[in-house]
Amino acid sequence: MVLLDTAFAFLYQLGDAFAFLVLAACGLAVVFGMMGVINLAHGEFIMCGAYVTVATTRAGLPLPAGILAGALAAGAVGMVLERLVIRYLYGRPLDTIVATWGVSLAATQGTLIVLGSSMPGVGTPLGSFTLGSYSYSTYRVVLMLAALAVLAGLYLAFNATRFGTLARATIQVPHMAEALGVDTRKVYALTFGIGAALAGLTGGLYAPTMTIVPTMGATFIMEAFVTVVVGGADIFLGTAPAALVLGAVRAALTSWQGQLFGQIGLLVAVILVIRVLPRGISGLILRERA
């Protein structure tokens, strides 16, 4: 029974870490996988989603609707950013990362100026449940399910819809897609918007569990980076397995040595993995299959 207890506790930890990594990374991974662009303002889209979720929920909207509002708001901001900045930097991925860093800095500090150093949050809903001698947060389980739902939703969106087909065509052979009458600029703008909306969704989902501060995006950004680096360019073959592997590393180290070692272990694991797999897990899988 004690063994079962411990096993479930570990499983819960693993699920929690997996969900955090998937949700932190998915928006970044979509934009990177589809457009080859790393968006350093990713954390600020998460922050944006969290702020909108908290504001609307406190104004009386039910939490799920608030989360949706957060995702939509971040998506809209993302489309605007694409129009104003990112569009002019296609084909210059290194410049894009630098420019979005500037955006991130201005957004964090701008929020600090306008909205102050913190915002009263909303409590974590759904309470907790007890299994054996441990007690668990029910909302964390909802987050795990949300991570799986996001993966499933992305899979459907990119494989079973017309937009998905066009997007993949645009990414693989831009000139051909253009010749076939696809408005590639619109596809890029929408893809970037989806990435931003996913970040906003993550912010909304985690908003009830965190203190709402302008710098909260930084909490996610490192995990998002390492997941994308280990995963490689493909979101389904890369991000999901990477989150699973890294989640296991983190859960194991966390339960052994605490939160901090979980994070540092993550980074060391990443640096070791890339020495062996420069193109990430998806590179490995694609090579095996090809």
Partner 1 sequence: MLRLLRRLEGPQTLGRGPAFWTAFAGSLGLAVAYPWFADGYTVGNTAYFFCWVFMALGLCLIWGYGGALSFGQTAFFGLSGYAYGVLTLNVGAAYGFTLAAVVLAVALSAGFAGLLGYFLFFGRIGGVFLGIITLSVTLAMERFMAQTAGPEWRIGAARLNGYNGMSGMPPLTVPWLDGDLVLFPDVALYYALLGLLVVTYLALRILVNARFGNVLVAIRENPERAEMLGYDVRRYQLGAFVIGSALAGLSGTLYTAWGQYITPSSMGLTAAALPVIWVAVGGRGDLTATLVGTLAVLGGFQALTIYGSQYALVVMGLLLVVVVLAAPEGLVVGLMRGLSRLGRKAPAR
Point out which residues bind partner 1 (CB under 8 A). 32, 38, 43, 85, 88-89, 92-95, 97-99, 101-110, 112-113, 215, 218, 221-222, 225-226, 228-229, 260, 263-264, 267, 270-272, 274-276, 278
Q: Which bin fits 145, alpha (ψ -120 to 50), beta or left (φ > 0)?
A: alpha
Least separation in angstroms between CB 109 and partner 1 = 4
Task: Give the residue with the Cβ less far from partner 1, 111 or 202.
Answer: 111
Residue 213 Cα distances to 41, 46, 69, 101, 224, angstroms: 15, 11, 19, 18, 19
Least separation in angstroms between CB 261 and partner 1 = 9
Task: Give the residue with the Cβ less far from partner 1, 102 or 153.
Answer: 102
Least separation in angstroms between CB 22 and partner 1 = 17
Q: If 0-12 CB within 10 Å is exposed, 13-18 middle and 19+ buried, where does residue 35 land?
A: buried
Least separation in angstroms between CB 134 and partner 1 = 24
The whole-angstrom separation of Cα 49 and Cα 216 is 11
Least separation in angstroms between CB 14 and partner 1 = 21
Task: Give the residue with the Cβ less far from partner 1, 35 or 71.
Answer: 35
Task: Give the residue with the Cβ less far from partner 1, 84 or 152.
Answer: 84
Task: Give the residue with the Cβ less far from partner 1, 122 or 267.
Answer: 267
Query: Contact, 36 vs 93, CB < 8 A?
Result: yes
Least separation in angstroms between CB 273 and partner 1 = 9
Helix (H) or strand (E) holding 96: helix 93-115
Q: By C-alpha distance, which of 262, 261, 260 is closest to 246?
A: 262
Q: Residue 64: what are its φ and ψ, rounded to 5°?
A: -60, -40
Residue 108 Cα distances to 45, 198, 245, angstroms: 10, 19, 31
Task: Give the residue with the Cβ less far from partner 1, 145 or 264.
Answer: 264
